[in-house]
Amino acid sequence: MAAADDLARRLQALWDEQADEWPMMARGVEYLANSELREVEHGGLRCRLQFNPGRVVSASAKVDAKSIAARPCFLCEKNRPAEQRGVDAGDGYVFLCNPMPIFNPHFTIPTLSHQPQLIADCLPKMLELAERLSGEYTVFYNGPKCGASAPDHLHLQASPLGSTPFEQQLLADPEGFIGWIDKSGSGAIGQTSEPWPVAIALDGTDRLAVQEHVEDLLAKLAKQYPADPEPMLNALALHTDGKLRVILFPRTSHRPTNFGAGDGQVLVSPGLVDMLGLLITPRREDFDKLDGEAVSKIYQEVSLDR
Ligand SMILES: [Zn+2]
């Protein structure tokens, strides 16, 4: 399937063209190119900090219902910048270049219709796109209350496969990295090993079977951790070597308790990418100050207890 589908090639072409013709995105790409990286380590947890001043708006965005309702939705076609073009993703979804990227390339994949961010509604698309972009891209989801900058407009994102410390470890050693609990039946289920934050992994070769497996798990989470409109979580799907893999990070809060832009506070607003060990720090002082221990503490604060 992957070989016959030239989607990845068309996405790269879109990215290159838009970076040339759209000044706002060209600036975002430049911010990313000039961003600084720093490795931090604590008890075997190896993470990377990205100092990217271009992301300050996103990290400090107000995502409460009132603020969201008051702003024009930037994922709705009628409000998008005139220069922004897309590639059809099928089923009423479109690939758009993220003009303030964390990755190169970095796509946002909204629906054409303005509808709320809910994993149940985009799970089938997430899995289908991960399969179509096999070996090329990871497709991911941020819940409406844990990282989505547009909680009112359904969207996925895509990043080059293996761009984060978590994925790199997963791809290098999936057996050692995930404690597989049950490998019977059509798929496997497991849990990330320490020192990574708790995440649940599901994999299989049959997309619909994986989807059902994830839906079962979501139903269990909803029962055990009822929340409106869904249990807090981030999720990713990737496809390599004929296997589709989904990882869910159940969350307890969006931002760490000392989140903020004041003295002694930290401007880190964890979404999926941050949970994968690539922490975006839009402020120089957080980039300089955060160490591995502080990152571990953030993970503990925002994720479910082991
Ligand atoms: Zn919208």
Domain ranges of the chain: 7-170+196-302
Q: What is the pLDDT along the chain (306 residues), one digit of tens a residue?
A: 444 479 999 999 999 999 999 999 999 999 999 999 999 999 999 999 999 888 777 666 777 888 888 889 999 999 999 999 999 999 999 999 999 999 999 999 999 999 999 999 999 999 999 999 999 999 999 999 999 989 999 999 999 999 999 999 999 987 777 888 777 666 788 999 888 999 999 999 999 999 999 999 999 999 999 899 999 999 999 999 999 999 999 999 988 888 888 888 988 889 999 999 999 998 899 999 999 999 999 999 999 888
Instruction: Specify the amino acid at residue 96.
Output: L
Question: What is the 158 CA–ligand 1 centroid distance (Å)?
Answer: 19
- Looking at residue 276, its pLDDT comes to 97
Residue 19: strand, helix, or coil: helix
State in words which class domain 7-170+196-302 has: alpha beta
Distance CA 130, CA 2 (A): 10
Residues in the chain: 306
Question: What is the 73 CA–ligand 1 centroid distance (Å)?
Answer: 4
Question: What is the 67 CA–ligand 1 centroid distance (Å)?
Answer: 14
- Looking at residue 3, its pLDDT comes to 47
Distance CA 107, CA 268 (A): 21
Question: What is the 95 CA–ligand 1 centroid distance (Å)?
Answer: 14
Expressed in percent and rounded to 5, the helix, strand and coil fractions of the chain are 35, 25, 40
- Looking at residue 186, its pLDDT comes to 67
Instruction: Specify the amino acid at residue 75.
Output: L
- Looking at residue 180, its pLDDT comes to 80
Distance CA 183, CA 173 (A): 17
Question: What is the 153 CA–ligand 1 centroid distance (Å)?
Answer: 5
Q: What is the pTM of this model?
A: 0.94
